[in-house]
Amino acid sequence: MDAVDVIRTKRDGGELSAEQIDWVIDAYVRGVVADEQMAALAMAILFRGMTGPELSRWTDAMIRSGERMDWSQLDRPTTDKHSTGGVGDKITLPLAPTVAACGAAVPQLSGRGLGHTGGTLDKLESIPGWRASLSNAEMLAVLREAGAVICAAGEGLAPADRKLYALRDVTATVESIPLIASSIMSKKIAEGTGALVLDVKVGSGAFMKTREDARELAETMVSLGEAAGVRTVALLTDMSTPLGLTAGNAMEVRESVEVLAGGGPADVVELTVTLAREMLAACGMSGAKDPAEALRDGSAMDSWRRMIRAQGGDPSAPLPAAAAHEVFAASSSGVVTELDAYAVGVAAWRLGAGRARKEDPVQAGAGVELHKKVGDRVTAGEPLATLYTDEPARFHSALAELDSGYRISDSAGPVERALVLDRVSA
């Protein structure tokens, strides 16, 4: 095999053979195929796309580049959720222990934030003592003790994706739907879960801005999951405005704990319960305890505390707080008709809650707390949001972003948009 021939085949609109795909993925991991050659192939895939058989084989080759985890020792079915990322999207935190409280096991491998989207691991690391890196044996022990584990993917899981993901980020090939789908699904299938629910975000704060693109991605991922023997369902959910009232690491943990205590913002509760029911149904436990009841009776909170303690964290410890804060007030009276998720996400990022590069540090206490959302009435001078950071010099740029995200009108405001927009299944 030769890398140039593989690149040329795809560049000219041809279909890569199974042998070509197996070879190029394996050779790239071994360093035989250089970064510049894989970058050229990724660009060719972005322009030419991939057929169903090509994409299935490509994803399978990425899975086979590393280990595939096995949870057959557990006495309960496994189910997981993956979100394509958004602003204020802390759903994994209340969701995993809620599903565990209903009788399923949740082996959740999560990531860190980049740019305007938050990362689950960054949020959880604001809890004193909590560890993101666990061995497979430690993951199994936490699952047995708490029913759910949230941690970082190990080095042995889909190493081909790790290399290719970093390359796509610096070569303007991130937007390719086949490459997005194979990246997500190679890790999730290798994770070893029996069922998977995908939360595909749509809107300004999401990677997929239109419903059409989001549905194409959802259908592609569902097809890949089902082909690999993983029961897979996708929901398209709204990310035109932030989820909940917080965007920032420790603040989102606090809000998640409020949900687990039976309170919290209505949209966060709704999506947690909706996704939990889908996860239970996907792994054959639709007749189990209802997730809404698990939130009401405290069993979801019990699972959360067991999970945090099992990973070295103290669920009762105070969460970090930022050193400085500044209020963003309304310049006029009326009704909030727009609160752009992207603007809020960028504001939180500029305050220090996110990172521009993977190696950048994040501030645990930084972020944005929202006091008014779409449909709320406000008077001039009333607080719309409070900004938090350890570095007051960051306020200026963050306030400018937030100012562009709020729109206040004299009218009654827009018709409320549904949180769940569509459902995709095999």
Amino acid at 295: L
Rg for the chain (alpha carbons), in Å?
22
Q: How far apart are CA 69 and CA 191, in angstroms?
A: 5
User: What tens digit of pLDDT does each residue of 60-117 get?
Assistant: 999 999 999 999 999 999 999 999 999 999 999 999 999 999 999 999 999 888 778 8
Cα-based distances in Å from 141 to 67, 100, 135, 182: 19, 14, 10, 29
The whole-angstrom distance between residue 340's C-alpha and the CA centroid of its chain comes to: 19
Q: How far apart are CA 239 and CA 387, in angstroms?
A: 21
Contact between residue 328 and residue 343 where contact means Cβ atoms under 8 Å apart: no
Contact between residue 204 and residue 191 where contact means Cβ atoms under 8 Å apart: no
User: What tens digit of pLDDT does each residue of 198-252 get?
Assistant: 999 999 999 899 999 999 999 999 999 999 999 999 999 999 999 999 999 999 9
DSSP, res 126: T
What single string gives the DSSP state of each residue in 169-218?
HTTT-TT-HHHHHHHHHHHHHHTT-SEEEEEEEESTTSSB-SHHHHHHHH
pLDDT of residue 331 exceeding 70: yes
Q: How far apart are CA 134 and CA 129, in angstroms?
A: 13
Cα-based distances in Å from 263 to 187, 199, 258, 269, 328: 33, 22, 5, 8, 26
Q: How far apart are CA 207 and CA 123, in angstroms?
A: 20
Average pLDDT over residues 359-378: 94
User: pLDDT class for 414, splitting at 50, 70, 90?
Assistant: low
Contact between residue 347 and residue 395 where contact means Cβ atoms under 8 Å apart: no
What proportion of the chain, given as a percentage, has pLDDT over 70?
Answer: 99
Q: How far apart are CA 195 and CA 188, in angstroms?
A: 10
pLDDT of residue 413 exceeding 70: no
What's the whole-model pTM score? 0.95
User: pLDDT class for 118, splitting at 50, 70, 90?
Assistant: confident
What pLDDT, on the 0 to 100 scale, is given for residue 355? 85
The residue among 139, 113, 136 whose CA lies nearest residue 124 is: 113
How many CB atoms sit inside 10 A of residue 245's CB?
A: 21
Q: Which two tokens stand for residue 49?
A: 């796309």
Q: How far apart are CA 267 and CA 284, in angstroms?
A: 26
Average pLDDT over residues 386-391: 98
User: What tens digit of pLDDT does each residue of 23-49 get?
Assistant: 999 999 999 999 999 999 999 999 999
What pLDDT, on the 0 to 100 scale, is given for residue 410? 87
Catalytic residues: 82, 161, 168, 183, 187
Contact between residue 217 and residue 181 where contact means Cβ atoms under 8 Å apart: yes
User: What tens digit of pLDDT does each residue of 135-144 get?
Assistant: 999 999 999 9
pLDDT of residue 187 exceeding 70: yes
Q: What is the mean pLDDT of the chain?
A: 95
Average pLDDT over residues 252-267: 98
The residue among 341, 417, 353 whose CA lies nearest residue 389 is: 353
The residue among 162, 176, 178, 177 whose CA lies nearest residue 109 is: 162
Can you list the domains of the chain with their CATH numbers? 3-49 (1.20.970.10), 79-155+166-317 (3.40.1030.10), 324-409 (3.90.1170.30)
Q: How far apart are CA 204 and CA 214, in angstroms?
A: 12
